[in-house]
Amino acid sequence: MVDIPDIGHKVQIEVNGHNGKTSHEGIILHPASKGHLTIKLVNGYNASYPIDDIESLTVVGKMAEKESPDYSQVEFKQGLPRVRIIHTGGTIASKVDYKTGAVIAKFEPEELVSTIPELGEIANIDAVKLGNMFSDDIRPQHWNKMIDATQQAFSDGCDGVVITHGTDTLHITSAAMCFAWSGDGKAPPGPIALVGSQRSSDRGSSDAAENLISAVYWAANGPKPMAIRGDTAVVVMHASSHDGTCAVQPGTGVRKLHTSRRDAFRNVNSQPLAYIDLEDGGPKIIIEDSYQLARDSSSNEISQSPRKYSTDVRIAQFIAGPYLHEEEIESIVANGPQAIVIHGTGLGHLPIDDSGKDAPENTKVWRVLTRCVNRNIPVVITSQCLNGPIDMNVYSKGRKQQEMGLLGHGSVATPDTTVVKIHWALSNDKDVGKIISMNLCGENHNVLLE
C-alpha cells in the first residue's frame, strides 16, 4: 500500500482498477470516503480511487499558500459606458477549497473584474460587494439591499448594472428586481442584468467568463428597459451547452430547469429578448423581432424610487396531490401567513372532490381552503407543469375552485414569479385578488409564443 501525503500535495498516481491501468495527476483533497484517495484533476473534476488500487504515487508539488494579490480597479477609458457590478456571490465568484474539495465563494469583486480583461474594453467598471452568499441563503432582506445598490448605481451615473448571483435562486431574485422597479409600470433608468455560472471559474469548462462578458455588454449597450416582457431585470446565461452565445432572458419568465447544464435557464411561457453573440468579432447584441415589435409600440416612464419587500410577509406553499391534507394546511394557517400558494396539477387543479365517497380527505381540503378564503387569506393556484396557463374554465372542478374564491385563473406567470408578485403586492398594500391576473411588467404576457 502506498503512503498518502497530506491534503494539498500535487501527485502523480498509477491506478490498476476495473478499467485497467490508468495514470492521473492532481491535487489531493479530503477523501470522498474511507480508504480512498481523492484528487482534483486539471480539468476541474474530482477522481476517487481505493487506496489498494493505487500501484504508485509520486509527489510532484505542494500547493503554495499565496497572499491575496492587490487587484486594482480597471483603468478608466473616456467614452465607454459606466457599469457597476454588484457582487452577491455564487459559483461565478467561486474557487475550489483544496482542503475539502468543495466550491466556496471567495473572489473579491476587483479580482472578478481583473481576471477578465475583455471587460475593460466594454465599459468602465466598478464593483460593489454586498456579500459572498450562495443563492440558497438569499432572502427578501437581501433583495432590498440589491434594490438599494441598483438605485445608488444609477444615482451615481452608471449606465447599467450587473448583479452576480448564485444560479439556484437567480430567477427568483430577477423577478423580485422586476417588480421592485416596474410593478407600477415604470422602468429603471438603465439595464439591469443578473448573471451566474454553472461551473466555477477555475474549471476549464467554466461558463463564468462568457456569461459575465455578455451581462456587462448588455448593461453597457443594451436597449433601455421598457417595463415590458420582463425586460426590467434580465438573466444572462449560456444559450446552449456550447460556448459562443448567451441568451438574454426576461427576469419574470425564466427558470433554472437543470442542475448542472450550462444552458440550465430556459423560458417559461415567454421567449428570449435577445442574444449576445460572442463569435465573429463579438460581442454583439441580436434583439429578437417580437421584443423589438413590443418596444416599438411602448413608451416608458422612468422610476426613481423602486419599491421594497417587507421581511414580515409570510407566504405558505403547498403541493397538490395525494399527500395534501387538511391538517397540514390548518397547522400552517395557524401561524398566520398572509397568503397561500398551491402548486396545482395540470391546468391548476386541487384534490377537493370525493365522487366515489371513498376519499374524505378531499372534502376536508375543500373545507379548509374555503375557511381560508372566508378569513380573507388569498389562496392562489399555480401549476406544477410550469408551462401553459392556469385555466379553471375547462373542467367543472376548476369552475368550482373559482366559485370557492381561489385565485390564479388566466395566469401564465411561473410559480416562483407568482410568489414574488404576491410578496410585492402584500409589501406595498396592493390587492392580491386584483393584481394576480394583471400583467404588471411582463410576468403575465397573455400571448403564449411557441
Which residue type occupies 202? D
In the sheet that holds 315-319, the strands lie side by side as 315-319, 339-344, 379-383
- Which of 405, 401, 402, 444 has the alpha carbon at shortest distance from 421? 444
Q: 82 and 219 in contact (C-beta within 8 Å)?
A: no
Residue 228 C-alpha cell reads as: 415590458
Strand 274-277 with 265-267, pairing: unpaired
Beta bridge mates, 128: 86
* 360: enclosing H helix or E strand: helix 360-374
Cα 92 vs. chain centroid, distance in angstroms? 12
Residue 71 C-alpha cell reads as: 487587484
Q: Which entry of 168, 207, 263, 416 is annotated as an active-site residue?
A: 168
Q: Which entry of 38, 164, 167, 417 is annotated as an active-site residue?
A: 167
Looking at the chain, how many residues does it have? Answer: 450
Give residues with Cβ within 8 angstroms of 229, minimum separation 6. Answer: 250, 253, 270, 273, 291, 294, 442, 445
Q: Is 91 a catalytic residue?
A: yes
DSSP-derived letter for residue 135 is G
Give start and end residues of each alpha helix (H) in 241-324. 289-296
Q: Which entry of 91, 169, 414, 418 is annotated as an active-site residue?
A: 91
Q: 178 and 232 in contact (C-beta within 8 Å)?
A: yes
Which residue type occupies 271? Q
Q: Which entry of 186, 256, 308, 430 is annotated as an active-site residue?
A: 256
- Which of 227, 230, 237 has the alpha carbon at shortest distance from 175? 230
Q: Which residue is listed with cell 471567495?
A: 106
Q: 245 and 262 in contact (C-beta within 8 Å)?
A: no
The residues annotated with a catalytic role in the active site are 91, 167-168, 256
